[in-house]
């Protein structure tokens, strides 16, 4: 839930938003980059409202149904600052799906292992090209997304380098 709180409070830092606007922003701009699966926005918003991190006001425009506008409170601003500080300093050992295969590498024929690792490198290079295109677009439109994509590119480069080294060690 900490990531959800950070996400919603961060989005509300730029100004009040209605629920659909928050949901659309997450789906259209962020979901492909942040790795969070947001099924419902209203439960976390309701919980943060109860905790005093956000306020909800109702409003109506013309004949449209009533909408709720959410805005961050001073308590929410403090919580956001706390969460972002924790996020920068939170380190967890990364786990990769291939790690288990690497553990059992001794049971695989060396030629087959090298072939599979080279195929993985080929796939990683394709992903890298896609990320590079997205990065070039993000540099022009969103500095924040360009930071995420640069990090992703660095991680893919590190994995490619690691598997190239492993191939020479097999």
Find the range with the poorest average confidence among 28-32, 69-73, 97-101, 163-167: 28-32
Q: What is the pLDDT of residue 135?
A: 95
Across the chain, mean pLDDT equals 92
Residues 4 and 33: their CA atoms lie apart, in Å, by 14
pLDDT value at 2 more than 80: no
The pLDDT-based confidence of 118 (bands split at 50, 70, 90) is very high
Percent of the chain with pLDDT over 70: 98
Of 89, 122, 148, which residue constitutes the final position of a domain? 89
Are residue 6 and residue 48 in the same domain, yes or no?
A: yes
Strand 67-72 relative to strand 54-59, pairing:
antiparallel
Of 36, 63, 89, which residue constitutes the final position of a domain? 89
> Please, are residues 166 and 118 in contact by the beta-carbon 8 Å criterion?
no
Q: Which domain holds residue 48?
A: 2-89
Report the half-sphere exposure of 8 (CA within 13 A, side-chain side).
29
Mean pLDDT of 129-153: 94
Q: What is the pLDDT of residue 61?
A: 67
Are residue 108 and residue 158 in the same domain, yes or no?
A: yes
Tell me whether residue 94 is in a domain: no
Tell me whether residue 157 is in a domain: yes
Q: Is pTM, for the whole model, over 0.75?
A: yes
Radius of gyration for the chain, computed over Cα atoms and rounded to the nearest angstrom: 21
pLDDT tens-digit readout, 9-48? 999 999 999 998 999 999 888 888 887 778 888 899 999 9
The enclosing domain of 15 has a CATH number of 1.10.10.10
CB atoms within 10 A of CB 73: 17
Residues 115 and 78: their CA atoms lie apart, in Å, by 52
pLDDT tens-digit readout, 45-74? 999 999 999 999 987 666 777 788 999 999
């Amino acid at each position: 839930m900490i990531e959800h709180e950070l996400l919603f409070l961060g989005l509300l830092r730029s100004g009040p938003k209605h629920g659909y606007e928050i949901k659309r922003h997450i789906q259209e701009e962020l979901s492909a980059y942040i790795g969070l699966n947001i099924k419902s926005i209203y439960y976390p918003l309701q919980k943060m409202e109860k905790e005093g991190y956000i306020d909800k006001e109702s409003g109506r425009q013309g004949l449209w149904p009533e909408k709720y506008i959410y805005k961050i409170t001073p308590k929410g601003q403090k919580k956001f600052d706390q969460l972002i500080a924790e996020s920068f300093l939170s380190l967890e050992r990364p786990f990769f799906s291939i790690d288990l295969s690497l553990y059992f590498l001794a049971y695989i024929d060396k030629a087959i292992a090298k072939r599979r690792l080279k195929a993985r490198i080929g796939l990683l290079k394709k992903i890298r090209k896609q990320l590079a295109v997205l990065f070039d677009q993000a540099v022009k439109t969103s500095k924040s997304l360009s930071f995420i994509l640069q990090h992703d590119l660095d991680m893919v480069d590190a994995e490619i380098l690691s598997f190239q080294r492993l191939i020479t060690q097999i």
